[in-house]
Structure formats: C-alpha cells, structure tokens
Amino acid sequence: MIALIFSILSSTFIFVIFKLFKKYQVNTLHAIVFNYYTACAFGLLHYKTPVNITTILNAKWLIGAIVLGVLFITVFNIMALTVQKNGLSVASVASKMSVVIPIVFGIYLYHEKLGVLKIVGIVFALIAVYLTSIKEKKVVFNSKGLWLPLSLFLGAGIIDTFINYIENTYLEPDSIPIFSATIFCFAGLIGTLLILVKSTKPPLNLSYKSVVGGFFLGVANYYSIHYILLALQSKHLESSIVFTINNVAIVATSTLLGLLLFKEKLITKNWIGIGLALLSIILIVNS
C-alpha cells in the first residue's frame, strides 16, 4: 500500500507541474522530451547492477519496453489533440475512464476475485472519475472528432494493461529501474525526432524553462511508474484494486490541489465525485 500511495503522490505532482507549465509558459513538448531523458537517468541511477547493453538487448521485456515508449509519446500527442479539438474535460474523462480496461484485463486473465463490495466500489470509482474530471456543467462530445477521445481512452487503457502484463510475465523486482529507464529512453528518442521534424520551420528554440520544467516532471514521472510497478508486485493487492485506487485517488487529489493551490472553482458534480472517490476506495480496500 505504501508503494501505491507514493505512486499516487508522484502522479499528482505531475498535475501540479503541468499547471505550472501553463503559468510560466513552458514549451510543453520540449519539457516532455527532456522529462523522458531525466526519468531514464533516474532509472539508471536506481539500477544497482552495472548497465550491460547485451543484457538489455536480450531481456524478455525489451520489446514491451519499446512498445510502451512509443505508446507514451503517442498517447501524449493524442491527449494534446483531444484537448484542442474536444476540450479539456472530454480529454480528462476519456483518459481517466480508461481504467476500466486494465480492471477487466486483471479480472479476466488473472482470475482476480470479484465480490459485491468490489463491484460496487469499481462502479462508484468510475462515476467518481467522470464527475471529478468534468469542469463544465455539461460535457459536449464533437461527433466529428469522436475518434480522438476514443483513441485516448484505448491508448491510456492499453498502457496500464501492458504494464500490468509485463510486470506479471517478465519483470523481476530488481529489474524495475532498468525496465523503466528503457521505456523512457525510447519515448525520449521518439520525442526528439518529433521536435527535430517540427523545428525545421521555425528553428528550434530550447529555453532553460523547458529544461528545468522537464527535469522536475521527469523525477515525478519516473517515480509514478516505479511505484506503480512495485504496487503491482504486492501479494496483498490485486491489479484491479491497484489501478482503480490509483486512478480515482489521482483524480480526486489533483482536483483538491487545483482548488487549494490554483484557486480553481469546483462545481457541485466535482464535490460529489470526490465524495464517491473516497467511498469507492473504502469499499475496494475492504472487499
């Protein structure tokens, strides 16, 4: 449970950093790419064994790490497009509701138990995620751009599901740092290519704010993955419980921080969502 709490705190810190990006006009793409290299460096620092390229190339999880690296940067760009075309609330709902995918995966593939309390808790969690994520009184989906939130929903869900699968199938506890570092390395390389393509016109202009912002984002990003992997390896927590609590707690905590730190206004639905989030966590923990 401690690892899960640290994962939630790290992911919530990511929210705070993104809000500061907007305030200080940080180039998000540049900071995102630098964040991946920072996270990669932290993974290497945490790896107790000397890094051996041959060992990494022969690792059973290598293909999975490459796929996740591609998914990380791809889903980020899909999220950005969804915000631009459909609005922030739609993007938030689509990405957070995707928690249903790893939940179903864990229950189906690993035969995790599904009692009444757990079912009610998961349903409450999904409702809580929806109510807490929306910032307008009515969320309007643009039918012409519906493929974007659907792609975001699937992409975010696939990332969590794939992480769960690799952790269960290939990953040893001592290989978490190097596995995470490899993911972030490939995400960073792909992001660098995107920047180089986009910087032909106009020329690349990398500011110190992007580097500093990317560094702090990378620290939070690394630990969010590091601790979620540790939580998934816990013998006392099933993956469906881990992902449900992780997702709903991040949404609720981020919303409260938005109120406290950035003076964001919460509508009635947000408060109901926060209440349901707390209730869902209690039900799931006691299921």
pLDDT, tens digit (0-9, with 9 covering 90-100), for 254-277: 888 888 888 888 889 889 999 999
**What digits encode the pLDDT tens for the residues 147-161?**
888 998 999 999 999
pLDDT at 141 over 60: no
**What digits encode the pLDDT tens for the residues 167-178?**
989 988 889 999
Burial of 56 (0-12, 13-18, 19+ CB in 10 A): middle
Nearest 5°: phi and psi at 141?
-95, 125
Phi-psi region of 263 (alpha: psi -120 to 50; beta: other; left: phi over 0): left
Give pLDDT, residue 287: 75
Give pLDDT, residue 257: 87
> What single letter denotes the amino acid at residue 80?
A
Q: Residue 58 contacts by C-beta under 8 Å, 6 or more apart in sequence? A: none
**What digits encode the pLDDT tens for the residues 104-125?**
898 888 888 888 999 999 999 9
Phi-psi region of 49 (alpha: psi -120 to 50; beta: other; left: phi over 0): beta
**What digits encode the pLDDT tens for the residues 223-259?**
999 999 999 988 888 898 999 999 899 888 988 888 8
132 neighbors 273 (Cβ within 8 angstroms): yes
Q: Choose the weakest-confidence range: 45-49, 182-186, 230-234, 235-239.
A: 235-239
What number of residues does the chain have? Answer: 287
Structural domain boundaries of the chain? 2-285
Crossing angle for the helix pair 176-198 and 208-232, nearest 10 degrees? 150
Angle in degrees, CA 36, 229, 243, rounded to 5: 105
Chain-centre distance for alpha carbon 42:
18
163 neighbors 232 (Cβ within 8 angstroms): yes
**What is the reported pTM?**
0.88
Higher-pLDDT residue of 136, 115: 115
Instruction: Assign 138 a pLDDT band (cuts: 50, 70, 90).
Output: low
Phi-psi region of 245 (alpha: psi -120 to 50; beta: other; left: phi over 0): alpha
CA distances from 185 to 5, 74, 169, 208, 252 (A): 26, 14, 22, 21, 30
| DSSP calls for 162-191 | HHHHHHHHT--GGGHHHHHHHHHHHHHHHH
Query: How many percent of the chain have pLDDT more than 70?
Result: 93
Helices (H), the chain: 2-23, 28-46, 53-57, 62-86, 88-97, 100-109, 116-133, 147-169, 176-198, 208-232, 239-262, 268-285
